[in-house]
């Protein structure tokens, strides 16, 4: 590990510890994204179920970048987590990509989700310039 990458990893760890000290909860979320390989998906919205309204409300958006290769030759997906909290700056992260053998346009990634809200039920939708998909049929407790 180079000196620069060691400093960067220490900086990232310090930042994560700072987030946790302010009540942020970190969760790993595995998401299957059909159509990503063909360029049909620009990002994913995570939706939180609001008991007060009985509906799902936007919580955070994951802005997906183009796949890249890391130093080990693994395909990774850089993404930016941007939540709906006013004034919040997005978190730049990355996830390792797994492609389905039967459909290489479909990827599976495990993303880190930094939850600032109370625990609850979440669903996801994907989006691109043409619009947004329906919410996922499966809810996840985070």
Residue 19's pLDDT is 40
The model's pLDDT over 71-114, given as tens digits with 9 standing for 90+, comes to 999 999 999 999 866 666 788 999 999 999 999 999 999 999 88
Pairing mode, if any, of strands 55-64 and 131-132?
unpaired
């Amino acid at each position: 590990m180079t000196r620069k990458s060691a400093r960067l990893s220490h900086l990232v760890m310090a930042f994560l510890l700072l987030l946790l000290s302010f009540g942020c909860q970190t969760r790993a979320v595995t998401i299957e994204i059909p159509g990503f390989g063909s360029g049909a998906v620009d990002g994913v919205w995570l939706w939180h179920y609001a008991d007060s309204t009985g509906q799902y409300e936007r919580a955070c958006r994951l802005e997906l970048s183009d796949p890249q290769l890391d130093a080990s030759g693994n395909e990774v997906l850089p993404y930016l987590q941007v939540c709906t909290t006013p004034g919040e700056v997005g978190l730049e992260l990355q996830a390792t990509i797994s492609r389905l053998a039967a459909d290489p346009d479909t990827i599976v990634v495990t993303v880190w989700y930094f939850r600032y809200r109370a625990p609850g039920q979440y669903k996801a939708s994907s989006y691109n310039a043409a619009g947004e998909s329906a919410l996922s049929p499966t809810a996840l407790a985070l």
